[in-house]
Chain A
Amino acid sequence: MPTYEPVLTKGIGELDLTDIGVYRKQGGYEQLRRAVREMEPDGVVDAVMKSNLRGRGGAGFPTGRKWSFLPKDGRPRYLVCNCDEAEPGTFKDRMLLEFTPHQIIEGIMASAYAIRAARAFIYIRGEMLEGYGIFTRALAQARAAGMVGEKICGGEWSCELVVHRGAGAYICGEETGLLNSLEGKRGEPRLKPPFPANAGLYDMPTVVNNVETLAFVPHILARGAEWFASIGPVKSPGLKIVSISGHVRKPGNYEVPLGVTIRELIFEHAGGLFDGRKVKAVQPGGGSSACLFEEHLDVAYDFDSIAAAGSMLGSGAMVVMDDTTDMLEAAFVLQRFYAHESCGQCTPCREGTHWSEAMLERLLEGHGRKIDVDLLTTVGDKIAGHSLCALGDASVPFLQSAIKRFPEEFLRGAERIPEVSLLGTTAAKLAAATR
């Protein structure tokens, strides 16, 4: 596979790209100027459509198609950049925010022009206070330089960009939860449909895109849709920042063409494992993705190949676990996360994540029952596909894949309790009845 030079992460660690002067010397804001002064908005949409760019936030939905869903009924439209990065293992958006804020601003403004947005927003995770400060300063520079606000780049088009800080809630990364939060409400996801494209922010047509997705837009304009579409697999092309963490020598963000193998990511980019260790499990797409194992190391890292292998690419966060990892503890840590972050609106997720956490804690303390292990799988089946938003679904894959592969590690927590107990038998009957 040919190598591609990184575009989003280019210059990070070498140049101070938070300064607008430095950014412009690298060709920054040239694509925004070209879009606004020389292109029709639909031209920008076409380029993104042809590039086959798929959303980098987790769902992988084609960005151009998302934009094309906006109704042409004269209502004001809004563009919202989702920088509420909180998926366990993901740290790419925070890097972009802190090191290349102007690239994000250019991406947002070019995209806002494409969809003719009345106003653009960026929702920055509450914990990213440092990134918020950096971005706010960059925005002031961009505004002074005429890149944001009135008559952008000296043209006829005007658009404001509003920075909105979250206040601590994973669920606000879900697009409708984010919109509610932006409206000053609890960040509870909305029932869909209606989709944000039709009734989003303030009930107006709205597009919500991830930071990395929008940051690619100027590069697609600069190098052409064909350039982007030619990288990697046809159906999920382009470059992707992969956040690699866990048991590797060089954890970090690596911008790679989609379609590289998981093995290459772990052993060539992230420096491999520590001496004498073996890969036990890999989460390819953040805390919400099912485990892949040693036999999957040669799977291509792109949306469709990872899905075919039984997991998902998600936000592009790879968590590597070597053979020293206790899968029961790992499952508990993640389940505790989902229980903590469940907004509580719908029963399957609110109850399911909490009871699963309780059962895992019981197993971890050695007071579990054998039936708990089966029950965990059954409860997962009752959450997945039955919750209001994707958080419920997301709480299931890791747990189920870990139990399926390493049942003995979970049963370990049940050794001390005899199987015959009232609760145990009731649960067993329940479990059998629901099969």
Chain B
Amino acid sequence: MALDFEALRARLQPEIDRIVAQYPQRRSALLPLVHLFQEQIGFATPEAVDFVARTCGVTPAQCESVITFYTLFYRRPIGKYNLQVCRNLSCTLRGAKEIMERFRERLGIGHLETTDDGLFSYEEVECLAACDRAPCMQVNLRFVYDLTPEMVDEMIEAMRAGAYGVEPLAQTEQPPREVRGPAWPRAARKSAGAVGVPNPNNAGGVGDEPGRMAAERFREEGVLAVSAPGRFADAETVDAMLPAPHDQTVMEGNY
């Protein structure tokens, strides 16, 4: 079911206004706003990124640059239970390795992966500031202390049965296996101003003949275009995709 972003935004607007008004400069609202949308949608969708960028007075690219800096922000859907097990020193000294092995074995996934049913995401994280109750973890950012391998089994069972005491995260789309990576599912998204323009720098990948030819052709015409998705099959297609001369975006000295 597609998410009606505009309806969600309208519903959250009073909270958005309150957050922005807290700060002397609106850009400061960036992290709290991403938190707000992620809480509702499950991850930072392209619409959310664009909206937060506009609200904070930055470009979507700047907004993404900030989002990708922080480990608690997700650009892809993740599992309903986000299991984050501490792998730092104090937990290691008290058996974290055993806990991590048990999770990997029982879930059949590794670090920063999501199960096929979309129920669990698993991550090994750094010190959670609960070293007195090591080994520890967080489930959807709620602490679980003094872990034992048996507790891992019970926890997973309870979550599968829908009987675990922590509310599942919002999930509006089926998550892919890998938690991190290029934002998903935005393969079809095109950056404004470069729609349909092949990128000579990576067209078809390394050693790709049509890509190389396109690159040469672009160089001859003094054109350097910015990103566009997809590969193209042959030189004719490339020619067809070339912009008309008056339409060219010239980026000098960038090649």
Contacts and interface: CB of A to CB of B under 8 A. Distances in A.
Contacts of A337: 88-89, 126-127
B131 A251 contact: yes
Interface stretch (A180-188, A224-232, A372-380): A180-188
A94 B129 contact: yes
A91 B130 contact: yes
A125 interface: yes
Contacts of A252: 132
A425 interface: no
A127 B70 contact: no
A167 B72 contact: yes
A130 B167 CA distance: 13
Interface in A325-345: 325, 329-330, 333-334, 336-337, 340-341, 343
A164 B93 contact: no
A340 B22 CA distance: 32
Q: What is the interface residue range for chain B against chain A?
A: 35 or more
B173 to A, nearest CB: 21
A183 B28 contact: yes
Contacts of B126: 86, 88, 170, 337, 340-341
A327 to B, nearest CB: 11
Contacts of A185: 27, 30, 66
Contacts, number: 146
Contact of B127 (A87, A93, A182, A202): A87
B168 to A, nearest CB: 15
A168 B87 contact: no
A119 interface: yes
A182 B58 CA distance: 15
A329 B95 CA distance: 13
Contacts of B30: 184-185
B129 A85 contact: yes
B157 to A, nearest CB: 24
A88 B127 contact: yes
B28 A182 contact: yes
Interface of B: 22-25, 27-32, 34-35, 56, 58, 65-66, 69-73, 87-90, 92-94, 125-134, 138, 141-143
21 contacts: A85-B129, A90-B131, A91-B131, A94-B129, A126-B70, A160-B22, A162-B23, A165-B31, A165-B35, A167-B31, A167-B71, A167-B72, A169-B70, A184-B28, A188-B69, A243-B132, A245-B131, A251-B90, A319-B90, A325-B93, A343-B69
Given A89-B90, A245-B131, 16 more contacts: A89-B89, A89-B127, A91-B130, A127-B129, A130-B143, A164-B31, A168-B73, A184-B30, A243-B131, A251-B132, A253-B132, A330-B92, A333-B88, A334-B89, A337-B88, A343-B69
Q: Which 3 A-B pairs have the closest CB atoms?
A: A184-B30, A245-B131, A168-B71
